[in-house]
């Protein structure tokens, strides 16, 4: 399984499963009423970036990824969960069960109904009558209360033990929150950001704990907003307002998950030429009248207005800009740019911001990490050190001992 896991969240009936289906081409249940999804859907989506094959003039043989017309598509894992309703953390709707499906997620895509056509519980209402900004506040609160609930129950006893043992609070919190996919560093930063670094844990009030949790959630589960149903007339005004109000807090990207799903299906059926993220499509097959009308509508209401359906852009922005991942091509032969079976640029690895050449070696194989000697940048031919930061789209040969 790929290393980046992203949760798709939001209230019911906003298009989470449609987004998931469009991004993964998995067949999932989509319907215009709340709680269509109960069990989570897990699938592979892709980030898109310019492959190095064209500029280096080589023909590649991708193995863990795809290369289409010079665009690399590297896999990430997407999880589509059931809709969240207000007070889910207390067990309303489907309760905490699916919140637990978000534990492993390193980031979240919050799908919002930008057309304002569903109420706070996902029931259809007149378009434009519900304020999508309210859904953002609510989702933050649900996530916060979920994490708060994990800590609050026996905080007093936990705090007393930490103090009695003279242990470090961030280390102990890290152990308690293992499984939530948070780093010890984020925990320390969150304690500082909440202004609690010099307060004894037994003296933390419920408000202190919640402040800490808010800071932690923002670091542990970075979030992007997919302003969905952007094809609808009422969406534009809401999208502009969301972008204005949330500036500096969240990136808001207009999406039409439905349009993306139609385009990808039409492309899979060889009716059109379209790559996820493209700003237009080209008809190559024979369309019936209904298909022709549907595709023209997508061109007019989505592609011409927003520049793309937004789905690929959401995944890309989250992985590359917000999480800061870099994509690196490891090779065994730095001249042929191949693995030891002659496949050219077979793999691409996505590594977190701040990852080093040594981290890449470990990602290839733990033995490579342990017996690391040096590495070579295949394009410049220069040696690179174990602690050097990995560069996006670089090609690296790791040299390890036997
Ligand atoms: N106009 C428009 N409708 C959309 C779009 N995306 C999804 N929908 C519609 O919204 C409704 C709900 O879609 P789903 O994908 O099932 O929503 P969900 O968020 O997974 O819903 P739950 O599983 O019930 O939480 C369906 O009728 C979709 O066709 C979009 O981009 N534009
Ligand atoms: Mg669903």
Tell me: the pLDDT tens digits for 147-173? 998 899 889 999 999 999 999 999 999
Specify whether domain 326-400 bears CATH 3.10.20.30.
yes
Q: What is the pLDDT of residues 321-330, one digit of tens each?
A: 999 999 999 9
Average pLDDT over residues 77-85: 90
Percentage, residues of the chain above pLDDT 90:
84
Which mutation among 122, 239, 258, 305 tests ligand 1's pocket best, with the greatest number of atoms within 8 A of CB? 258
Both tokens of 317, joined, read 């922005």
Tell me, in angstroms, the distance from the centre of ligand 2 to residue 29's CA. Answer: 7
Tell me, in angstroms, the distance from the centre of ligand 2 to residue 204's CA. Answer: 39
Q: Hey, which CATH number is domain 5-133+222-320, 3.40.50.720, 3.40.50.970, 3.40.50.300, 3.40.50.1370?
A: 3.40.50.300
30 alpha carbon, closest ligand: 1
Average pLDDT over residues 33-57: 90
Average pLDDT over residues 291-298: 97
Indicate whether 351 pLDDT > 50. Answer: yes
Residue nearest to atom 7 of ligand 1 (CA): 15
Arithmetic mean of pLDDT over the chain: 93
Neighbours of 322 (CB within 10 A): 16
Provide the β-strand partners of residue 224.
Answer: 109
More confident residue, 337 or 100: 337
111 alpha carbon, closest ligand: 1
pTM score of the predicted model: 0.95
Q: 351: part of which helix (H) or strand (E)? A: strand 349-351
Residue nearest to atom 16 of ligand 1 (CA): 30
Q: What are phi and psi of 30, to 5 degrees?
A: -130, 130
- Per DSSP, 302 falls in state I
Tell me, in angstroms, the distance from the centre of ligand 2 to residue 231's CA. Answer: 19
Atom from ligand 1 closest to the CA of residue 34: 24
Q: What is the pLDDT of residue 150?
A: 87
Contact 375, 344 (CB under 8 A): no
Average pLDDT over residues 54-82: 94
Average pLDDT over residues 375-382: 96
Q: What is the pLDDT of residue 1?
A: 40
User: If you classify domain 145-218 with CATH, what class do you get?
Assistant: mainly alpha
pLDDT-wise least confident of 142-156, 287-301, 335-349: 142-156
Q: What is the pLDDT of residues 9-39, one digit of tens each?
A: 999 999 999 999 999 977 778 878 887 877 8
Q: What is the pLDDT of residues 212-263, one digit of tens each?
A: 999 999 999 999 999 999 999 999 999 999 999 999 999 999 999 999 999 9
- Give DSSP secondary structure letters for 20-79: HHHHH-------SSTT---SPEEEEEEEEEE-SHHHHT-----SSSEEETTEEEEEEEEE
Both tokens of 246, joined, read 């949330």
Torsion sign (Cα): 307, 310, 315, 320: positive
Q: What is the pLDDT of residue 101?
A: 81
The span from the CA of 132 to the CA of 85, in Å, is 14
The span from the CA of 235 to the CA of 39, in Å, is 29
Both tokens of 110, joined, read 């919050």
Average pLDDT over residues 52-72: 95
Q: What is the pLDDT of residue 96?
A: 67
Strands 66-68, 107-113: pairing kind: unpaired
Decide: helix, strand or coil at residue 271. coil
The span from the CA of 34 to the CA of 165, in Å, is 48
Contact 294, 271 (CB under 8 A): no
Q: What proportions of the chain, in percent to the nearest 5, are helix, strand and coil?
A: 40, 20, 40
pLDDT-wise least confident of 35-49, 106-120, 335-349: 35-49
Q: Edge-to-edge strand order for the sheet containing 383-384?
A: 349-351, 326-331, 394-400, 372-377, 383-384
Tell me, in angstroms, the distance from the centre of ligand 2 to residue 46's CA. Answer: 20
How remote is the C-alpha of 67 from its chain's centroid? 21
Decide: helix, strand or coil at residue 116. coil
Both tokens of 75, joined, read 């896999």
Strands 71-80, 5-9: pairing kind: parallel
Q: What is the pLDDT of residue 281?
A: 98
Residue nearest to atom 12 of ligand 1 (CA): 13
Q: 397: part of which helix (H) or strand (E)? A: strand 394-400
Which mutation among 10, 13, 98, 235 tests ligand 1's pocket best, with the greatest number of atoms within 8 A of CB? 13
The structural domains of the chain, with segments of one domain joined by +, span: 5-133+222-320, 145-218, 326-400
Q: Which of 88, 56, 48, 43 is nearest to 317 (CA)?
A: 48
Q: 7: part of which helix (H) or strand (E)? A: strand 5-9
pLDDT-wise least confident of 72-86, 255-269, 280-294: 72-86
Residues lining ligand 1, CB < 6 A? 10, 12-18, 30-32, 34-37, 82-83, 228-229, 231-232, 256-258
Tell me, in angstroms, the distance from the centre of ligand 1 to residue 14's CA. Answer: 5
Q: What is the pLDDT of residue 95?
A: 64
Q: Which of 269, 357, 272, 324 is nearest to 4 (CA)?
A: 324
Q: What is the pLDDT of residue 220?
A: 92
Q: What is the pLDDT of residue 97?
A: 67
Burial label, 233 (beta-carbon count in 10 A; 0-12, 13-18, 19+): exposed
**Phi-psi domain of 123 (left: phi exceeds 0; alpha: psi -120 through 50; beta: other):** beta
């Amino acid at each position: 399984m790929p290393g980046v896991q992203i949760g798709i969240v939001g209230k019911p009936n906003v298009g989470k499963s449609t987004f998931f289906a469009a991004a993964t081409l998995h067949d999932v249940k989509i319907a215009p009423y709340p709680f269509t999804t109960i069990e989570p859907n897990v699938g592979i989506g892709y980030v898109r970036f310019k492959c190095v094959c064209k500029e280096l003039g080589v023909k590649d043989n991708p193995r863990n990824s795809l290369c289409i017309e010079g665009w690399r598509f590297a896999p990430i894992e997407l999880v589509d969960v059931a809709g969240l309703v207000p007070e889910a953390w207390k067990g309303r709707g489907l309760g905490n069960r699916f919140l637990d499906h978000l534990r492993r997620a390193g980031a979240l895509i919050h799908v919002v109904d930008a057309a304002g056509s569903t109420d706070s519980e996902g029931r259809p209402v007149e378009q434009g009558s519900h304020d999508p900004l309210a859904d953002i506040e609510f989702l933050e609160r649900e996530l916060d209360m979920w994490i708060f609930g994990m800590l609050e129950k026996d905080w007093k006893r936990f705090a007393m033990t930490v103090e009695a043992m003279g242990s470090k609070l961030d280390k102990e919190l890290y152990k308690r929150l293992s499984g939530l996919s948070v780093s010890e560093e984020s925990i320390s930063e969150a304690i500082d950001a909440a202004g609690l670094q010099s307060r004894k844990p037994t003296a933390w009030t419920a408000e202190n704990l919640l402040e800490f949790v808010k800071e932690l959630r923002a670091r542990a589960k970075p979030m992007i907003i997919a302003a969905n149903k952007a094809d609808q007339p009422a969406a534009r005004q809401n999208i502009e307002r969301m972008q204005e109000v949330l500036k500096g807090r969240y990136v808001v990207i207009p999406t039409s998950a439905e349009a993306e799903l139609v385009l990808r299906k039409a492309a899979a059926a060889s009716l059109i030429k379209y790559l996820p993220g493209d700003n237009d499509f080209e008809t190559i097959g024979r369309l019936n009248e209904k298909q022709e009308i549907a595709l023209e509508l997508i061109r007019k209401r989505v592609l011409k207005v927003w520049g793309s359906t937004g789905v690929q852009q959401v995944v890309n922005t989250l992985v590359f800009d917000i999480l800061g991942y870099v994509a690196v091509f490891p090779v065994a032969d730095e001249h042929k740019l191949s693995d030891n079976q002659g496949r050219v640029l077979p793999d691409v690895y996505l590594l977190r911001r701040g990852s080093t050449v040594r981290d890449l070696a470990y990602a290839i194989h733990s033995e490579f990490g342990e017996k690391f000697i040096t590495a070579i940048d295949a394009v410049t031919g220069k040696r690179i050190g174990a602690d050097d930061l990995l560069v996006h789209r670089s090609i690296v040969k790791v040299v390890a001992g036997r």
